[in-house]
Chains A and B, each alone.
Chain A
């Protein structure tokens, strides 16, 4: 990897701080303003929304890098991925601690009987190994190929998050549809990029940034 330009390096703390804004905002509102008639539901939904948004943001890095011809963007992928995992953890914690109040029987009944929660929980489980193997040393230990294969789980996690959202909505599917559309674009981009790499005669390839688009 080329050495980061100073401008990009200085952006990293700023991006990190921006990723914390949704959390800070909801904490501020909960403490000083209140979260409305059903604060438990409001907090859980809010954190779930941001968990899914960060999963999609992390999945957007590679396509945007190709489309904007901005290789430096790849530097933020791990951060976005870890924020996605963090918001999933906040969402899950608010469900266990504040919504169900550690009622483990109810929680188990939810996981085993309500399929949208089964899928949500499976999505969380898929993200755990990705977070654990996100460090440089873990990537080295796994080897590039195995690491890359493992981290393809991020696609399944994106799909899991969107399906979880679809299944919990009562009637108005517009929001889940928007998220599904974004996910379809991000995954579709990878399919197209993969197909292009397999056809070396494709003229688009010559115009690319000099190195093949890395599809992860």
Chain B
């Protein structure tokens, strides 16, 4: 059952920018022209700009009292090293990526270990739209209307054994299709993980879409994680493996720079990154002269998740 956590101050989900506004051809052409998107992208209907609308999506009570970020920014400013290390790379380099067919291997401490077609993994569950804050470790943030299913529902169906204490996730490794993987900028494949109670928290969303449509390639098609109280790098994209394990799994950015990125990576304004403060964040789309916003503890989800970490030193377990 969905626990309603709606804040009385929250506006209805109807405040989400209507999809028609994004699809409006005139606006799109202007935006694409301004963003320097090539003509080929406009002419290529399989590109990320014209997504497939997801059917049967239920509006959820999980929303925030802020306008979603322009879709144009959410799809053009991406950290997805599999398609290149600068933020403008993924939209360009993922254009020809075809995420279908897609299978996810479920393995480890789980009764229903198997290789699942993405459809079989998701379709037994009700798709929900959830509008979450998304806070990158680089001190910028967005508001994104995601579409997905609670990871907890999927995990329950897969029946992990009593020995499963962590869930590890792995991104596709296929340098032919993901050009960024031809350089060893970070160790491939990208791996992430959650403690079992974090994975089972109702906020954790196994995500297949955003803005009412299937996920664009540059945002992690066809299936990604969204863990809204953690820095964005925990929300692993293009997942091909879910592994239940007894021990804490390795995570990519922690391997890359253990002093800078921890396993937990909870959004915490009081614990600085060694190279910048996490006290404030730049909200994408607000333009030049708006000051940064104060970052909220657990990205504003403290009521739902603070209990997971009671008694833990969050300065050490960053």
Contacts and interface: CB of A to CB of B under 8 A. Distances in A.
Contact of B275 (A41, A101, A168): A168
A168 B274 CA distance: 11
Interface stretch (B94-102, B277-285, B306-314): B277-285
Contact of B282 (A41, A116, A174): A41
Interface stretch (A70-78, A107-115, A206-214): A107-115
A106 B140 contact: no
Contact of A167 (B34, B35, B275, B280): B275
Contacts of A33: 34
Interface stretch (B125-133, B199-207, B217-225, B287-295): B287-295
A95 to B, nearest CB: 12
Contacts of A172: 81, 85-86, 183, 185
Contacts of A170: 138, 257
B60 interface: no
A168 B289 CA distance: 23
A37 B76 contact: yes
B287 A39 contact: yes
Contacts, number: 60
B288 A40 contact: yes
B88 interface: yes
Interface of B: 34-35, 72-73, 76-77, 81, 85-88, 138, 140, 183, 185-186, 256-257, 272, 274-277, 279-280, 282, 284-285, 287-289, 291-292
Interface of A: 30, 33-34, 36-41, 43, 98, 101, 103, 106, 109-110, 113-116, 167-168, 170-172, 174
Given A33-B34, A37-B285, A116-B275, 5 more contacts: A37-B73, A37-B284, A38-B77, A38-B282, A172-B183
**Top 8 nearest A-B pairs by Cβ distance?**
A37-B77, A172-B85, A37-B73, A101-B291, A172-B185, A37-B284, A114-B275, A171-B185
